[in-house]
């Protein structure tokens, strides 16, 4: 089954009770049992829910995995993966990553004796310098947030496995339409389904996908025991969003291609970070492991002052100034004060994230309207 067909049909069957083509929202907290321990596969809604089951089966199929595990947010999904670790374990993470992930790593889990090292992994071979017998997990984003750096998934997987570690890829920026990390050797894929999978800025949810049965059992145990589960209506919203992921992503990418080119030739723009440019670092790797180059980009103005960036950020009319990404509407953001504010400034600057960097999530509006909006906003620079 091709991916576009999977997005509409995988894991989904007509409701056996009514024949409803859309998965029902099972808004219930518990299930009647015929006798103690004798039930129809469902006992209590924290443990299982039929709507959630369909979502988990669907996302597993779409990411070419075997097991999907859904959580109440992307951060809860990340937290569940980290709960598989023990005190004394070491995690190597790419140094350009979402601020919420950095905060969870350094301010929550580091307190429990887990060591985190943040490394520029644009050259995956650098992993060899840092991996040792305590390394249990390699954590990467590709493309990264917000500098759109590309990390070689296959190379990282090979090095991770040689050291007895697992590779986890946060695939939120790419979405399963553009990239399937399990196909390149990753062991775990996580998504903030709030973003491209949901696609309409109306739900918060996270998912983890794996192939290994024992790892899936651990994650299901954590899901049930810790209880960070999504509600059935949220699961239904993501299922609805996934059915149009392919057509949305095609328009996202088409628009982004034109907007990246517009920004690159604009006289007030110094640099544009978008992995579709042939001279973008590791562009060849992006071409190999991605189907297209996505709709996330960031740029720096020639007048590289935070005050100038703020004027541009406050002047758009179609690009909404807001956190998040991946919805049908275009968003503009300031990572240093919004999505990455939890990373200390000196650490942001080390990784190349300047105070004036502007990030775009390009939506599916008419591209000419989007370009006109950016043009009038850039006049404020």
Quick one: pLDDT at residue 353? 74
The structure's pTM equals 0.96
pLDDT by residue (tens digit) across 326-336? 999 999 999 87
* Confidence tier at 56 by pLDDT (50, 70, 90): very high
Q: What residues are annotated to the active site?
A: 46, 98, 170, 195
- 209 DSSP β-pair partners: 68, 189
Contact 51, 27 (CB under 8 A): no
The residue with tokens 């986890």 is 168
Q: Per residue, what are the HEC states of 11-26?
A: CCCCCCCCCCCCCCCC
The mean pLDDT of 51-61, rounded to a whole number, is 97
The HSE-up count of residue 282 (CA atoms within 13 Å, CB side) is 23
Rg of the Cα atoms in the chain: 21
Q: What percent of the chain has pLDDT over 90?
A: 89
Quick one: pLDDT at residue 274? 98
Quick one: pLDDT at residue 338? 77
The candidate with the shortest Cα–Cα distance to 170, out of 134, 199, 194, 145, is 145
């Amino acid at each position: 089954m091709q991916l576009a067909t999977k997005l509409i049909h995988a894991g989904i069957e007509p409701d056996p009770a009514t024949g409803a083509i859309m998965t029902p929202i099972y808004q219930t907290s518990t299930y009647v049992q015929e006798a103690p321990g004798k039930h129809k596969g469902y006992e209590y809604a924290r443990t299982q829910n039929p709507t959630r089951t369909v979502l988990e089966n669907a996302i597993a199929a779409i990411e070419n995995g075997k097991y999907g595990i859904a959580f109440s947010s992307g951060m809860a999904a990340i937290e569940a993966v980290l709960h598989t670790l023990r005190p004394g374990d070491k995690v190597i993470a790419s140094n350009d990553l979402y601020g919420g992930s950095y905060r969870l790593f350094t301010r929550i889990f580091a307190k429990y004796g887990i060591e985190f090292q943040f490394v520029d992994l644009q050259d995956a071979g650098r992993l060899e310098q840092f991996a040792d017998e305590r390394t249990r997990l390699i954590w990467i984003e590709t493309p990264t947030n917000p500098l759109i750096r590309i990390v070689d998934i296959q190379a990282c997987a090979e090095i991770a496995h040689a050291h007895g570690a697992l590779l986890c890829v946060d695939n939120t920026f790419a979405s399963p339409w553009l990239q399937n990390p399990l196909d390149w050797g990753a062991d775990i894929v996580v998504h903030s389904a709030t973003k491209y999978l949901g696609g309409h800025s109306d739900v918060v949810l996270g998912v983890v996908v794996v192939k290994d049965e024992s790892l899936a059992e651990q994650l299901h145990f954590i899901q049930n025991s810790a209880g960070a589960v999504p509600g059935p209506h949220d699961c239904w919203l993501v299922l609805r969003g996934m059915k149009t992921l392919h057509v949305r992503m095609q328009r996202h990418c088409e628009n982004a291609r034109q907007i990246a080119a517009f920004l690159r030739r604009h006289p007030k723009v110094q640099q544009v970070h978008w992995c579709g440019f042939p001279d973008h670092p590791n562009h060849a790797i992006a071409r190999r492991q991605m189907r297209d180059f996505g709709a996330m980009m960031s740029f720096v103005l020639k007048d590289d002052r935070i005050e100038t960036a703020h004027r541009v950020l406050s002047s758009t009319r179609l690009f909404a100034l807001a956190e998040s990404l991946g919805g049908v509407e275009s968003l503009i953001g300031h990572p240093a004060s919004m999505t990455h504010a939890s990373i200390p400034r000196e650490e942001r600057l080390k990784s190349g994230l300047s105070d004036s960097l502007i990030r775009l999530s390009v939506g599916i509006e008419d591209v000419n309207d989007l370009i006109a909006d950016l043009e009038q906003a850039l006049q404020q620079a």
